[in-house]
Amino acid sequence: MTYCVAIKLNAGMVFLSDSRTNAGLDQVSSFRKMMIYEKRASRFMVLLSAGNLSIAQSVREALQTTQLTDDERRSEPTTIWNAGSMFDAARVLGCAVRNVHERDGEALRQAGVDFNVSLLLGGQIRGEQMRLFQVYSAGNFIEATDETPYFQIGESKYGKPVLDRLLTPQTSLDDAAKCALVSMDSTLKSNLSVGLPLDMVLYENNRYESDKIVCIDEANPYFRMLHDRWGAQLRKAFDTIESPRWSAAPAGTAPLRPATCRYQPLRKTLGPFDC
């Protein structure tokens, strides 16, 4: 399994992925889940993948040559390298997914393997704003909005709470990077199918390139500090919250069971004639 998160902000975008792949308890390997597509001064796109590794790798390879031929306004087929918008780039990616399914889907089905792949594609093409898409196994996709400024794929549940509490479109890139790393650290702590090293990219709006690209392993000093500090601060915050009190005594406390509570759980009491 894996965990990937992509965040779209006013200031730019953050992409983060792990690299662990499991094919059983005794077959744990590392494969990169992130691919960057860039054309200087024209476009910068990042692709993150989760799901069946062989399918994800096939889609990534097919994306290099997939073309859209249903746009009669263009004199040449649309590819990720000449797409006029991120929406068209997402359409190309969806077409690549469907091409791989058409080629391999039946053989996978006969082998008892589900066609399982999830993809995140985000970036910016000159002439439009940054955009972020989540692409599904059928090749269809949805786009991130101000109300939902991030997408997750893979083992998303452990790292979701911190993203929901802290992220807004106004969040700075550095704070979003910190938030993404805390989200990943929480996932690493709770799920053995997600593991180091990590790949991270920060993209600044309207740059069409990035010099903030890093691979994070066990020896990375910032990630080790973040892991230790986040755990310590969680414990400190937990200790500052008083334990539950069942009444309002002493005065001024917040009781767990206030006097106005009208609801009770269902209860069954053993009667004298019950066996």
Mean pLDDT value across residues 134-150: 97
201-225 pLDDT per residue, tens: 999 999 999 999 999 999 999 999 9
Does residue 31 contact residue 191 with C-beta atoms inside 8 Å? Answer: no
Model pLDDT for residues 92-117, shown as the tens digit of each residue: 999 999 999 999 999 999 999 999 99
Residue 199 has pLDDT above 80, yes or no: yes
Helix axes 221-239, 173-190, angle to 10 degrees: 80
Which carries the bigger pLDDT value, residue 216 or residue 76? 216
- What's the average model confidence in pLDDT over 46-65? 96
Amino acid (1-letter code) at residue 159: G
With a cut of 80, say whether residue 73 has pLDDT above it. no
> Which of 139-148, 239-248, 266-275 has maximum average pLDDT?
139-148
Rounded to the nearest 10°, the torsion over CA 95, 124, 2, 163 is -130
Asked whether residue 23 carries a pLDDT value surpassing 70, the answer given is no
Give the per-residue pLDDT at 74: 66
pLDDT tier at 260, thresholds 50, 70, 90: confident
Distance CA 134, CA 261 (A): 44
**Would you place residue 1 in the very low, low, confident or very high pLDDT band (cuts 50, 70, 90)?**
confident
pLDDT at residue number 71: 64
Sheet strands (E) in the chain: 3-8, 12-17, 20-22, 28-30, 34-39, 43-51, 117-125, 131-135, 141-143, 150-154, 198-204, 212-216
pTM above 0.75, yes or no: yes
258 CB neighbour count, 10 Å cutoff:
9
Q: What is the pLDDT of residue 80?
A: 96
Mean pLDDT over 150-162 rounds to 96
pLDDT at 72 exceeding the cut of 60 = no
What is the SS3 assignment for 195? coil
> What domains are defined for the chain?
3-235 (3.60.20.10)
- The proportion of the chain whose per-residue pLDDT surpasses 70, expressed as a percent, equals 96
Q: What is the mean pLDDT of residues 227-254?
A: 90
Lookup result for tokens 């704003």: 129
User: Which residue has 């334990």 as its token pair?
Assistant: 243
Spacing of C-alpha 161 from chain mean position: 13
* Pick from 48, 44, 55: nearest CA to 124: 44
pLDDT for the residue 268:
83
Q: What is the mean pLDDT of the chain?
A: 93
Residue 29: predicted pLDDT? 83
